[in-house]
Every structure is written in C-alpha cells, then in structure tokens.
Amino acid sequence: MIDGIKIYCEDLSPQTWERMPYLSFITIINEQTGEILNKKRYAQYQALYLEIKPSTIIKNKDNCYLHGSIAKYHNNGLDNAYDYDYQAFQNTLTDLENKLKINPEKAQLKNFEFGINITLPFPVKTALNHLKTYKSNSFSTMYTGRQNIGYIADYQQYTLKIYNKSIQAKINQPNLLRIEIQVKKMQYVKALNIHTLADLKKPEIWKYLANHLLNLWAECLYINEKDFNYKTMSDRTQKKFLRFIDPRYWDSLKEKKQRLRARQAYKKICNHYQNKEEKQIITTFIKEKLEKLKPKTVHQLTNPIPLKTVQNDKPNQKIKCPPFNPLDKELISTQNKNINKDRFLLENIKQKKPEKQTQKHIKKCLVCHQSLKNKNTHAKYCSKQCNNQYHTRKRKKMRQKIKITQIKNLNRIIQQIPKNNLWLTITYTNKKLTYTETLHQSEILSPAQWINKIKQIEIKGIRKNSPIITLTSLRAKKLIKQLTLINQKHTKNTLNN
C-alpha cells in the first residue's frame, strides 16, 4: 500500500554510504578542467535514489536523502504492480536498516505515496472513460511518454491518480487499475502525527489511510451511460442527464451551492433510472484489496479517548467520536494532557442547539398575499399577473427616485448658472433619428420647436473631477429654456452697448 517515499536521514553520515561497495556515487564535472560543477552526489540502488548534498543551514556539512519506490525495492527494482502488504513493508524497513543503515526512527518523511492495484472484470479504458470529475472539478490527463494512461486531480497538498497500471509498468497483466494518493506536503497528514518512517509502521495508520483512499474514491463522479434507462426519461430529465455526463458542465459551476444542487439532482436521476452501478463494483474490489493489504490486527490506542456527550433528544445517551476524520477537512486538536501523543486527533462533535418551537412559516404572494402552498419553494408570486404588478410598482418607485434627484440637481444648476462654465452633451431626435451634440452653455440659443425634441442632457464642468449629471425629459427641456433666456438677454445687452 505504501509506495513512494522521500526521507531525510538525520543521523546518517555520508561516509557510511560512500564506504558501501554496492553504491557508486556520481556528480557533474567539467571534462576539460575537471572542475566539479555540482556538489550534489547521486547513487541508484534497486529503484531507490540516494542523494548527498550540502546543508543550507550548517556550513561544511552534507545531508543524506533517499527517495523512490520501496515497493519496487522490495521487488528487486522491477515494478510495483503487485500487492504490497503490511508484512512486506515491515520486511522492507528491516532490509533498509541492514543494508543502507537507515534508522526508521530518525528518517524524517518529506512526502510519500500510498495506493492499491485492483484487477477489473472489464477493460481499464472503459472505467477511465466513465470518470467525469473529482470534487466537481474535471481531471487532468496523465501521460507516460505520449500515451494517455489515466487521470490526475492535482491539489496543493496532495494528488489523486487513477490510471492503467498495465501500460505504465509495461507488464502483460490486463485490466489492472491503480488508485494512488501522493502526499506532497506533510501538512496534509499533520492530524495523524506522521513525522518519521517509523510512524508508517503503526497498524492504525494503515487503517486510516485505507479509509481515506475510500473517501477520495467516493468523491469521484463515475457515470456509465449504459447503466441508465435513458428512453424512459422525460425530455427535461434527458437534457439534465446529458449535462451531467459532460465534465465541462461541472467546471462551469463555480459556487458550492450550485455543485450541491447538481449532485442532488444527479442522485435523484440515479434513484429513478439506474439499473446497476458500475462504480459500486469497483468500490467492492477496492474494499476487498484494502482488507487484504492492511494489518490483520489493529492495535487499540493505549489510552482510549473518553466518550463525549451531545445535547440531543436523549440527554443521557453517549455518542462515540467518529473513527476517521478525512484529511482534507480541518481537524481540531485535543488539549487533554493525559492522552498519549501517538494517538490520532479526532473531530470535535459540536453541541446541537435546542430547536425553537415555532410555527411553520407559510409563504404568501408578495402582491395579493395568497398562500403559495402548492407552488415551487422559490416562488414569490401566485400568478404572472401579480409578478407583472409587483415589478411595475418597483419600476415606478425607481423612476420617482430618479426624478427627485434630477429636480434637485436642476434647481442647483439654475441658481449657479452665472458662476458655472458648463459643457452640455445634448441628445435629441429628428425624423426618427437620434443625434448628439456638445455645446458650451453660452452657445445655446434654441427655438421652442427644437427644445421639444430634446431627450437627454449630460452636464460636465460643475466642479473639478465632479461626476457627470444627467437630466432627462422635462428637466432637460427646462434647463435649455433657462439657458436660452439668459443668453438672449446677454446678446441684447451687448447689442445695446
């Protein structure tokens, strides 16, 4: 089950590895000058890669790192396309300690992988084609060379891989599917207190990782169109179903509520029209394989966690804490000092608030106040007539608000016309065509026939960086009339003088 690892061997000296006859370290040098270009040294030993590189913290010190597949190492470096169980894992750690002097208690884990291989009763390509999304996000394609072998769901702290193991390992074993989780950041498993290679030897860890793998598989959307009675669906249900089998539809759902409603709608279709569930067949194979790989006896925790009481209908009843909290959810640490540090953190059970005894609220129409008992849950009106009536009133209120603000702006502008230096963008209609002109306030001398054609005015220059003021209808016409009168008086005074 445990496969790839990357560890930092804290107590190991580089000279220990360099003295081993079956390890030969290489580095990068300049052929002409013989200068060592890279101080890192590498060695390979049965699918494991050993690395000695300078410390970035302490000067003149080299650190030892190891990464690779321990399942391949146990198989003499061939492949990991077999059942790597708990007993084999323990034997591998013993072998690493004897041959490479790696102390599991001192080997700090940087990342690791765990997964299983299952043999399907149908082609793996068929199963991969029916995978649609993981957590309502579409998968990325996984390649080996140029060949598509499966799918990946890549996240910041972990990666879920589902692929054809037969093609990837280049073996003659048909219908071999691998489901694998790569822990990229140890923060992802912080709740399980996994820090060293020895922590992975605990049987409880294998049990918890097995449950987590099942949880991640359960969150994959797997749809086989042949499992459904498509012909018996209504037209509306058929359209919904065709959307659900398209991964791009799930990518378009950005909000959590949208994805939740879509999943609920898909479950309803499954309940009514699904004959058999192919995903359940694969789930059964996964459970059987996990049961085979995990330790036969899981040791109980030395200090069992006390039961927590929850306020509910039966106040004296005790409720057990859940056995496993998914790793991608927040875990709350316990503060009990007497609890052993090796135990796993469990999710706190929140106390339920007592329900208030209130009468059921019956929804009513916003206009006529009739009951909406037989309507949709989101309905607000009893009929289309009430809908139109409500929005007519709403539009009228909006127009009244705009009118009041425009009247205030108009009165203020008329009072300050002599002080202002206004530029007006005037929109008017003539012979069913709309025209726009920009004029200074001193240029406006308009006859009454032209004023009646004005529709809108946008005013600039009241103050520096002030917003544009818009006047429509009678307010626009009134302003033009006022400016025309002022300009006419001004022209008469200038002619008389």
In sequence order, the β-bridge partners of residue 69 are: 4
**Distance (Å, whole) CA 194 – CA 57:** 24
pLDDT (0 to 100) of residue 360: 56
Measured in whole angstroms, the distance separating CA 353 from the mean position of its chain's CA atoms is 30
Q: What is the pLDDT of residue 297?
A: 61
pLDDT at 155 over 50: yes
Asked whether the predicted pLDDT for residue 166 surpasses 50, the reply is: yes
Secondary structure element (H or E) that encloses residue 450, with its range: helix 448-451
SS3 assignment for 252-273: HCCCHHHHHHHHHHHHHHHHHH
> For the chain, how far is it from start to end, CA to CA, in angstroms?
105
Q: Which two tokens stand for residue 177?
A: 């599917």
Helix axes 473-496, 384-415, angle to 10 degrees: 20
Spell out the residues 6+ positions from residue 478 whose beta carbon is closer than 8 angstroms to its own.
410
Query: In angstroms, what CA-CA distances link 28 with 15, 31, 38, 78, 302?
Result: 19, 9, 6, 27, 51
Please tell me the total number of residues recorded for the chain in this structure: 497
The rounded distance, in Å, linking the Cα atoms of 191 and 327 is 7
Q: Is 372 helix (H, G, I), strand (E, B) or coil?
A: coil
> 355-388, pLDDT tens digit by residue?
444 455 678 888 888 888 777 778 888 888 899 9
Strand partners, 196: 108
What is the pLDDT at residue 489?
A: 87
The residue-averaged pLDDT of 436-460 equals 88
Two tokens, residue 333: 């640490």
Q: In this structure, what are the phi and psi dihedrals at residue 177, rounded to the nearest 5 degrees? A: -105, 135
> Mean pLDDT over residues 19-33, rounded?
86
Question: CA 218 to CA 275: how far, in whole Å?
Answer: 19
For residue 282, the model assigns a pLDDT of 92
Residue 344 pLDDT: 38
Q: Work out the average pLDDT over 328-349.
A: 39
The answer to whether residues 178 and 162 touch, using CB atoms and an 8 Å cutoff, is yes
Q: Which of 176, 83, 178 is nearest to 122 (CA)?
A: 176
Classify 369 as helix, strand or coil. coil
Q: Quick one: pLDDT at residue 285? A: 92
- Percentage of residues of the chain with pLDDT beyond 90: 33
Pair 118, 286: CB distance under 8 Å: yes
Mean pLDDT of 169-191: 91
Q: Which two tokens stand for residue 185?
A: 């950041």
Q: Are 221 and 132 in contact (CB under 8 A)?
A: yes
Residue 63 φ/ψ, nearest 5 degrees: -105, 150
Query: Under a CB-based contact definition with an 8 Å cutoff, are residues 280 and 319 in contact?
Result: no
As a whole number, mean pLDDT of residues 333-349 equals 39
Question: Alpha-carbon distance 424 to 440, whole Å?
Answer: 6
Beta-sheet pairing, 137-138 with 308-309? unpaired
Examine the pLDDT at 324 and tell me if it is beyond 60. no
Q: What is the pLDDT of residue 301?
A: 36
What is the per-residue pLDDT across 454-472, written as a single tens digit (0 to 9) for each?
999 998 767 777 788 899 8
**Whether residue 441 has pLDDT greater than 80:** yes
Render pLDDT for 236-262 as a digit per residue (tens, 0 to 9): 888 888 888 888 888 888 888 888 888
What does the pLDDT read at residue 359?
A: 52
Longest CA pairwise span in the chain (Å): 118
Return the percent helix, strand and coil in the chain, to nearest 5: 35, 25, 40
Amino acid at 54: P
Question: Do 113 and 182 contact (CB within 8 A), yes or no?
Answer: yes
Tokens of 447: 């006859």
| CB-count burial class (<10 Å; 0-12, 13-18, 19+) for 213 | buried
**What is the residue whose two structure tokens read 């959810």?**
329
Tell me what the mean pLDDT of segment 74-101 comes to: 91
Beta strands in 247-355 (DSSP E): 308-309, 318-319
* Residue 228 contacts residue 242 (beta carbons within 8 Å): no
What is 187-234 written as a DSSP string? GGGGGGT--BGGGGG-HHHHHHHHHHHHHHHHTEEE--GGGB-GGGS-
Supply the pTM of this predicted model: 0.58
Calculate the CA 32 to chain-centre distance: 52
* pLDDT score of 299 more than 60: no
pLDDT one-digit tens code per residue, 48-73 = 999 998 888 888 888 999 999 999 99
What does pLDDT average to over the chain? 82
Q: Which span out of 274-278, 392-396, 462-466 was modeled with the highest average pLDDT?
A: 392-396
Question: What share of the chain in percent tops pLDDT 70?
Answer: 87
Mean local confidence (pLDDT), 311-319: 38
Q: What is the pLDDT of residues 187-209, one digit of tens each?
A: 999 889 999 999 999 999 999 99
CB-CB neighbours of 296 under 10 Å: 9
Q: What pLDDT score does 55 carry? A: 87
Instruction: Over range 36-49, report the average pLDDT.
Output: 87
The dihedral sign for the CA sequence 363, 369, 374, 376: negative
d(CA 208, CA 109): 18
Contact residues for 249 (Cβ-Cβ < 8 A; gap 6+):
243, 262
Question: Of 132 and 342, which is predicted with more confidence?
Answer: 132
